[in-house]
Amino acid sequence: MSEPIMLFKKPSYPINDSLLEYLERFDRISKVSIFYDDLLRFSGSVTVYDKNDQDTLWIRVYYNEYERQEIDLNLKKIYSLLHSDGNLGIIKFLNVDSIDYCTFGNSKPFRIKVRNILNDNYTHFYIKKADASRVYGLELEHILSPDKINFLVYQDTLIEEHIMGIPGDVFIKTLLADCTATEKAQIAKEFVKFNERCMIRLLGDMRSYNYVIVPTHDFDHVVYKIRAIDFDQQCYEGNFKVYRPQFFKENYPMVKLVKEKLQNSSIEQYKDEERSVLAKRILSAENRIKILLQIMGEDVLAPESHLEQLKMELYRYTNDLNFKKAKSMGNIMNAAFEFIVRNYKSSAVLKNRI
């Protein structure tokens, strides 16, 4: 588990015309003309530290006054698009408290903090360079995960809402040990399902800092869910292990928890449950997924060597010839969904006979 399974930094892939048409059809195009590059014109910055005085790898940026006014107005408009269908009447109640720039990672995002001045409630959203892989990942997450995601695209700029939760690495380091035995068993179950979901939809690089733990209080106990927050590695790597969170050393405490708390029969049961849920979601959004996968199938999302490696590894894993025949990462994604749906339908027929 200690050997690196990701060797090279992923390049950014442009959004093609077909994907832009899809985004327009499903109301994902921003009506606000702001560009990622506009935010890069900051005139200075200060380091952002956490409550323990540790460098967060974010810097708080500031702008010349004549630029800040226009930037603030556009950021408030984006907030209204994300959260109130573009209702400009709320703008007078909003304040842009801070604009932070991340110096770590592939996407180098800007994090915008917007506060409602009437009640001091605030929320965040992110502005990044648009990347086709990430857009496909966000859209698949929106359709197939238990949670919906708001995002918008404006030419080469991507706007994403903030996904709330405790960063996985922080949770593992500071909170996991204090969980009750029952809570640990429930977290182990969720990690099995999360692992299966990422594998099936080929979402890679789910190291502990790329997902969040979401605790929800339910009567007398806490229920934990796991949500992905980084979608850069959608259908890019050739190594199949990259799409299985269990193989990252950062997730070893979670893997250890699964081994300690769950029997093999339970692990298989939770995998089956997740496959069944995914198959139902694929079928319920069949037309939308069909359009998206057709566009993906004609797009270039990875080097040819990655494509050849991944399709052969998946063929050996499933014995499904559709993987071997795939000519693009989109074709591989389509083969994976067909495989899951076919097995789900076969299982349903078997249960009906019993």
One-letter amino acid at 142 equals H
In the sheet that 166-167 helps form, which strands lie side by side, from edge to edge? 166-167, 211-218, 221-228
Calculate the average pLDDT of the chain: 93
Token pair recorded at residue 64: 């010349």
CB contact at 8 A, 200 and 225: no
pLDDT, tens digit, for every residue of 100-142?
A: 999 877 778 999 999 999 999 999 999 999 999 999 999 999 9
**Tell me, what's the pLDDT at 2?**
46
CB contact at 8 A, 173 and 52: no
In the DSSP assignment, the letter for residue 105 is: S
Q: How much is the CA Rg of the chain, to the nearest whole Å?
A: 21
Residues 83 and 150: their CA atoms lie apart, in Å, by 9
Q: Is 177 helix (H, G, I), strand (E, B) or coil?
A: helix
226 conformational bin, left if phi > 0, alpha if psi -120 to 50, beta if neither? beta
Residues 167 and 209: their CA atoms lie apart, in Å, by 6
Asked if residue 88 has pLDDT above 90, the reply is: no
Where does the chain show beta strands of DSSP type E?
44-49, 55-62, 94-102, 110-116, 122-129, 151-154, 157-161, 166-167, 211-218, 221-228
Residue whose pair of structure tokens reads 């890069």 in the numeric block: 40
Asked if residue 352 has pLDDT above 60, the reply is: no
Nearest to 280 by CA among 272, 291, 292: 272
Asked if residue 23 has pLDDT above 80, the reply is: yes
**Tell me, what's the pLDDT at 1?**
42
Give burial (CB, 10 Å; 0-12/13-18/19+) of 235. Answer: buried
Lowest mean pLDDT: which of 100-109, 184-193, 196-205, 285-294? 100-109
In the chain, % of residues over pLDDT 70: 95
Q: How far is CA 142 from the centre of its chain?
A: 9
Residue whose pair of structure tokens reads 């994976």 in the numeric block: 336
pLDDT, tens digit, for every residue of 211-261?
A: 999 999 888 889 999 999 999 999 999 999 999 999 999 999 999 999 999
Residue whose pair of structure tokens reads 């060597």 in the numeric block: 305
Token pair recorded at residue 293: 């996968």
Q: Is 269 helix (H, G, I), strand (E, B) or coil?
A: helix
Global confidence as pTM = 0.92
Nearest to 93 by CA among 122, 134, 127: 122
pLDDT, tens digit, for every residue of 35-80?
A: 999 999 999 999 999 888 988 889 999 999 888 999 999 999 999 9
